[in-house]
Amino acid sequence: MIVRVSKLLKAPAEQAFDAWLDPEIACKFLFATPQGEMQKTQIDARVGGSFLIIERRDGVSIDHTGVYLEINRPRRITFLFSVPAYSRSTTRVSIGVLRMEGGCEVVVAQEGVEEAQARQVEEGWRSILEGLQAVLIPAAAPVVAE
């Protein structure tokens, strides 16, 4: 089964694209959860390169691994993806970034998702895209009176 989610962002396509491949930015939104603590973010951003993102949740380290199949800046990233703690299967994920007036649309499609996990996978990608938006467009800093 294919799970697909998208989000409109008020950020340039290049900025949204680059965030997925920059470890210093990716660790703030990619597979990051409010209750977790990011332990490691390694990204070898090239076709054939891999990534390893480890987040500690409820005392357990969760590995997110992948191998890049396509990197076409600023339009598309495709990778094989696995999270061994949750499934033995490897899926294929495509990140599409479409230029739009005033920003871009980011579309995530994950192929090979087990039907029983589809809702959780969809919620996960929606959360990641919300996190991406928060990283790219931080809320205005509060005004502090002197």
pTM: 0.92
60: its two tokens: 């357990």
Among residues 119, 115, 66, the alpha carbon closest in space to that of 91 is found at 66
Tens of pLDDT along 50-84? 999 999 998 999 999 999 999 999 999 999 999 99
Query: Which residue shows structure tokens 């989000």?
Result: 7
User: Minimal CA–CA distance to 63: which of 89, 82, 44?
Assistant: 82
CA distances, 38 to each of 33, 63, 139, 140 (Å): 9, 11, 22, 25
Looking at residue 88, the DSSP 8-state letter turns out to be S
Give me the amino acid identity at 29: F
CATH number for the domain whose boundaries are 2-136: 3.30.530.20
DSSP 8-state code for residue 140: P
User: Would you state the pLDDT for residue 138?
Assistant: 78
pLDDT digits (tens, 9 = 90+) for 101-125: 999 999 999 999 999 999 999 999 9
pLDDT score recorded for residue 141? 47
Closest CA to 75 of 16, 142, 23: 16
Helix, strand, or coil (residue 144)? coil
